[in-house]
Structure 1
Amino acid sequence: MASLDDFGTDELSQRLQKELPRKRVLIVDRHPAARDALRLMLSALGVTNVTGAGSSAEVLRQVKASTFDIILSDYVLDDGRDGQQLLEELRQQHLIPLGTVFMVITSERGYHNVISVAELAPDDYVIKPFTSEQLQARILKAVFKKNFFAPVYQKLDQGAYIGALNACDRLLANTSPFELDVLRLKGEILNALGRHDEAEAIYRDVLARKSVPWARMGLAFALRGRKSLDEAETLAQQVVDEFPQYLSAYDFLAGVQEEKGRLEAAQAVLQQAATLSPNNAGRQRVVGDVAMRNGDLDAAEKAYGKVLERHRGSSLRQVDDYANLSRVMLDKGQTAGARQLIQELKRDWRGSRQGEYAAAVMDSLCLQAEGEPEKARAAVAEALRLHEALERDGDPAKPISHKIAVDLAQACLAAGDGDAAQTIMKKVAAENNDNRHVLARIEGVFARTGNEDAGRALLDQVNREIVELNNRGVLAARSGDLEESVRLLVDAAEAVPSLQFLVNAAKAISALMDQQGWRDELAEQAQRYLQQARARDPRDWRVLSGKEALQRVAGKYGKRIS
């Protein structure tokens, strides 16, 4: 990180020091004495608006109730968790804005253990022991950089990606100490919006000046977006070979290899990264998914077990974490272990209909494996009842787990209810028609019962129906009949709420309002579709592009949307 001396001056330093006492600070440390000592140190710097938290759960309560400018977190937290995991949870749950400074306090040994594999980078690490002057210098540097990027961060926090791009351009128009950082951020935004040609141009320009790994990876993302998979794979492999600690390159490389059908290579790359950074639960979940597709049950069990261990007690936990591991144990014939996990699921998710539903599904599969067909059928009946209730009354922005729905279809087949199984799998396939893991799982269920041909026929039928539904709405839009396009695409989104249909319907509504004027009821409908799409994949560029289209129309008519 650049230092104040690089761009400045006593005047700048003095201005930032005057700002510091107005900052709200949260200290995170499991030891009250350590929190008190740090509070005294901050007091000597004039910072008095300080709150303490002794546990991760307390941090979550505090950030939901108040906004903090600075969070100082010890690396070692309660229950074996760490500051890196806390930051991951806060960022993924959008509990702190991008403008919040997050600094990790750690020992010299802890720093060397952590910094090489820190994947969601804090703004800085402060090494124990340190003086108040050293702490002040680190905070001022971090605050300066946050202030510089504030116009971009504010737009990104609002989901206004075009506004964020414009803010990047304004920063680049002046001499900047962070020019490469701005270009990096601009390229990431362009890639996120699916504007891969523009992103490619930025990254090639940066690489012409300086060969930095992030620019090579940004270029690889752009190339993958343009379907240049071989070139994207080559670039990512080079980064992995030359910068083995650049862990996101492994994820990207594995994704390209999976897209090219090289599942064993993808698993090997992911496991390399998981060895370097075993605490990244998101990657471990993907390792488990790919290992399951490869039939490597031992690797899947290890990966899914790590996810459950890492997320236990965290707001990032999912019912899928329990179902994934119990599914592997059943496949390995370990019914006792699966039964224990189902009991944990019932206990940890008591009062949650999603939890009750998942437990009933897995209970049926476990009872079948235990040789209790009558009890299994009763569990299937309960699971079907809960499934119908969730579909009828559930929150559309929190869709039913597609994996557990496929498990329910498998349980229905085992119980002799083939019609229910077909209905469920057809719906899951339609709503996840571009998700390779889901489609492979459906094929696997059919294969287990010796019905591979039936599985392929079902997926082919679903694909034809989706193409036909989508084409009718798109062709109407191209012909200029926006009213008919909206009607057709809304019908498609209501019938098959896949990410593709939801975004297409939202975009069609935006185009209609752009031409004919703002209509509150249509705008609310578009927002609802985008929320549903975001629940399926918040990082998909189509979701971001759809939201940006709606925001652009809202701005045209002086409206504000969340």
Structure 2
Amino acid sequence: MKPILAGKSILIVEDYPAMRKAIRDMLYILEADTIVEADNGVNAINAMTKTSFDIVLCDYNLGNGKNGQQVLEEARYRKLIGQHCIFIIVAAEQTASMVLGAMDSKPDEYLTKPFNAQQLFARIERNLRRKQFLQGIEKEIERGNLFQAIQDCEQLLAANDQKMRTHLLKKRAELATLVGDFETGRQVYQQILQERDLPWARLGLGIIEYQQGNFDTAIAIFEALLQDNPLFLEGYDWLSKTYETQDKLQDMQQVLNQAVDLSPQSILRQKKLAETADKNGNLAIAEKAYKAAVTLGKHSVHKSCGDFTNLAKLYAKTNDSEHALKVLKEMRHEYLNNPEAELRATTLEVELHKKAGNEQLADDCLKKMLTLSQQLGNEVPKDLQLDIARSCFLQNQPERAEEILNGLIKTHIDDDGFLNDIRRMQSGIGLENHSEALIQSTKRELVAINNKGVTLYKQGRYGEAMALFEKAMSVMPDNKTIIINMLKITLHDLKNADHDQQKLLRAQKLFKKARQVGIDKQKLGILQMEFSNLLRKNKLEAKA
């Protein structure tokens, strides 16, 4: 065996000392020289915050606390592991739900116990070769230099390395889709499928149809994919996402339910199922999923105090105040001295006390709620703001409720899903179509601003166009359409500016804001590619 591990930093995460020693001895046989050990998930995360590991061997079942899937999720979420790192989940159990759960988090490898040094070597070597081969492309993607990543991909494809060809084609198709070059992406995926029926290539075709707004075609592709590959979990996620775009919540719930049955350890999928079933009025399914999200959240980076209050709100809907208050008590214990958790609990208590006929307690909670909300300011999540508006309506504070709704509608006017949440909230308290006039007038206002800005832009009056959108952004700070338009103008300005550092920083700030508000990766990808081209051109000119 070749000495492939010399100089590589390796982390072993295993709760059994004897097994840790066995893996360590195998690694020494493979000439590893830098090995760190962790006996649980928390210690593994701590180790990764201190060291950038090349290889992580993580057992799935780590006893009490985080499991291997949750360790990988947190490491990725917190960017504790880079693209170069090989993450291998190791497991002894072979139940379908556990295997699917482990694979759901997309480790580089899944290794079944028992295994020997030769098997471990083969897995590590295969992934090292792949990672090293794609290293240049991945680095350019991390830098946001998508143009160079595509160029590097094309050069490697021209070299015709047959062992790496499929990996390269997959990366090339993904990059094409990311930058909005859908025709190239479609051609590459179809080329792959002519040679071999690979589920991820069929998924890629469906994603392209989704991105182009061909939702019925996308649904047909995803449904056919799942019929032939019923364990392919990404297919369920994209099918449910497409149904959500069309506001087909019953179909969405059915698809999510199937995915959760296959992989019940996915907290994000459990949250989505709970919210969808709740909106559909399927309270038994919603309760089960909310409970699962709360349980999984104890050791997950995706834990949220909102999971507790969503479950408590469900009990409030069924007039089960006892269980609702019990859940809020548990949340306060779990999130001690957390302002958001306290605000969520107090907001729901307004309604609970009102239902119980305790008007004084309801008023006291309302005052506390408004004080906490003012203290948190812009940090109050939009779903919680909507709950606060609901409580204000219930306690005869319509002016405050209208003020909150006005801000929510203006900020999220291009988020149809959230606008439907506003409509559902108002219908639930007997205010059907209450904000419809404001929603429609705000949409018209946004269209008018957008049209005026585009007209100014086309007339070459870039400063006036930018000033218009900046003024609009002060009123609608998270509006995706405005952010995209400001990015377009900034990039156009950069084309005609000689190394304008201020405009470069403005573009970077807008890209960061766009990612924060959840603008579609494909929309951003096109602009990111343009930006990387500008940066590349500036570097070349600077060298000249």
Fold-level match, TM-score > 0.5?
A: yes
Q: 389, 401, 409: which one pairs with 1:429?
A: 409
Q: 331, 337, 341: which one pairs with 2:327?
A: 341
1:413 is aligned to 2:393:
yes
1:64 is aligned to 2:49:
yes
Which residue in 1 is equivalent to 2:487? 506
Partner deviation per Cα, 1:221-265 (whole Å, 9 max, x = no partner):
111111212211111110111100011111211222233332211
SS of residue in 1 equivalent to 2:144: coil
SS of residue in 2 equivalent to 1:102: strand
> For residues 384 and 31 of structure 1, do their structure 2 counterparts lie closer, same or farther at Cα, with a shift above 3 Å needed?
same
1:55 is aligned to 2:40:
yes
Which residue in 1 is equivalent to 2:62? 77
Shift of 1:273: 1.0
Shift of 1:162: 2.9
> For residues 78 and 462 of structure 1, do their structure 2 counterparts lie closer, same or farther at Cα, with a shift above 3 Å needed?
farther
Q: 257, 270, 288: which one pairs with 2:243?
A: 257
Provide the rounded CA distance (Å) in 1 between the counterparts of 2:441 and 2:191: 46
Which residue in 2 is equivalent to 1:327? 313
Provide the rounded CA distance (Å) in 1 between the counterparts of 2:186 and 2:119: 40
1:447 is aligned to 2:433:
no
Partner deviation per Cα, 1:135-164 (whole Å, 9 max, x = no partner):
222211121111111112222333333332
SS of residue in 2 equivalent to 1:71: strand
SS of residue in 1 equivalent to 2:104: coil
1:298 is aligned to 2:299:
no
Which residue in 1 is equivalent to 2:455? 475
Contact residue 493 and residue 505 of structure 1 kept, 8 A: no
Q: 206, 214, 219: which one pairs with 2:192?
A: 206
1:97 is aligned to 2:82:
yes
Partner deviation per Cα, 1:339-393 (whole Å, 9 max, x = no partner):
122223323333433333333323333333333333223323333333333335x
Provide the rounded CA distance (Å) in 1 between the counterparts of 2:30 and 2:109: 19
Provide the rounded CA distance (Å) in 1 between the counterparts of 2:494 and 2:218: 38
Which residue in 2 is equivalent to 1:355? 341
Contact residue 97 and residue 263 of structure 2 kept, 8 A: no
Which residue in 2 is equivalent to 1:178? 164
Which residue in 2 is equivalent to 1:528? 509
> 1:515 is matched by which residue type in structure 2?
N
Q: 292, 298, 301: which one pairs with 1:312?
A: 298
Shift of 1:80: 5.6
Provide the rounded CA distance (Å) in 2 between the counterparts of 1:274 and 1:106: 21
After alignment, is 137-146 or 475-484 more displaced?
Answer: 475-484
Shift of 1:219: 0.7
Provide the rounded CA distance (Å) in 1 between the counterparts of 2:80 and 2:355: 42
Contact residue 56 and residue 78 of structure 1 kept, 8 A: no
Contact residue 117 and residue 276 of structure 1 kept, 8 A: no
Contact residue 25 and residue 51 of structure 1 kept, 8 A: yes
> For residues 174 and 75 of structure 1, do their structure 2 counterparts lie closer, same or farther at Cα, with a shift above 3 Å needed?
same
Shift of 1:171: 1.9
Which residue in 2 is equivalent to 1:542? 523
> 1:440 is matched by which residue type in structure 2?
N
> For residues 448 and 504 of structure 1, do their structure 2 counterparts lie closer, same or farther at Cα, with a shift above 3 Å needed?
same
Provide the rounded CA distance (Å) in 2 between the counterparts of 1:494 and 1:20: 54
Shift of 1:111: 8.0
Q: 8, 22, 26: which one pairs with 2:7?
A: 22
Which residue in 1 is equivalent to 2:114? 129
Shift of 1:490: 2.0
Provide the rounded CA distance (Å) in 2 between the counterparts of 1:532 and 1:82: 33
> Larger relative contact order (C-alpha < 8 A, sep ≥ 6)?
2
Provide the rounded CA distance (Å) in 2 between the counterparts of 1:90 and 1:56: 10
> For residues 100 and 474 of structure 1, do their structure 2 counterparts lie closer, same or farther at Cα, with a shift above 3 Å needed?
same
Contact residue 274 and residue 285 of structure 2 kept, 8 A: yes
> For residues 128 and 239 of structure 1, do their structure 2 counterparts lie closer, same or farther at Cα, with a shift above 3 Å needed?
same
> 1:413 is matched by which residue type in structure 2?
F
If the length of structure 1 is used for normalisation, what is the TM-score? 0.89
> For residues 482 and 428 of structure 1, do their structure 2 counterparts lie closer, same or farther at Cα, with a shift above 3 Å needed?
same
> 1:511 is matched by which residue type in structure 2?
H
Provide the rounded CA distance (Å) in 1 between the counterparts of 2:488 and 2:335: 37
Q: 355, 362, 377: which one pairs with 1:369?
A: 355
Provide the rounded CA distance (Å) in 2 between the counterparts of 1:158 and 1:466: 33
Contact residue 24 and residue 68 of structure 1 kept, 8 A: yes
Shift of 1:319: 2.8
Shift of 1:480: 2.0
> 2:332 is matched by which residue type in structure 1?
K
> For residues 391 and 328 of structure 1, do their structure 2 counterparts lie closer, same or farther at Cα, with a shift above 3 Å needed?
same
Which residue in 2 is equivalent to 1:397? none
After alignment, is 432-441 or 542-551 more displaced?
Answer: 542-551
> 2:255 is matched by which residue type in structure 1?
V
Where structure 2 has 5 or more consecutive residues not aligned to the other structure, the ranges are none
Provide the rounded CA distance (Å) in 2 between the counterparts of 1:170 and 1:197: 20
SS of residue in 2 equivalent to 1:20: coil
> 1:450 is matched by which residue type in structure 2?
G
> For residues 112 and 43 of structure 1, do their structure 2 counterparts lie closer, same or farther at Cα, with a shift above 3 Å needed?
farther
> For residues 155 and 305 of structure 1, do their structure 2 counterparts lie closer, same or farther at Cα, with a shift above 3 Å needed?
farther
SS of residue in 1 equivalent to 2:64: helix
Q: Count residues with an aligned counterpart.
A: 538
> For residues 189 and 494 of structure 1, do their structure 2 counterparts lie closer, same or farther at Cα, with a shift above 3 Å needed?
farther
Q: Map residues 234-253 of structure 1 onto 2, 5 A cutoff.
A: 234-253=220-239
Contact residue 52 and residue 80 of structure 2 kept, 8 A: no
Contact residue 226 and residue 236 of structure 2 kept, 8 A: yes
SS of residue in 2 equivalent to 1:22: coil
Q: Map residues 371-386 of structure 1 onto 2, 5 A cutoff.
A: 371-386=357-372
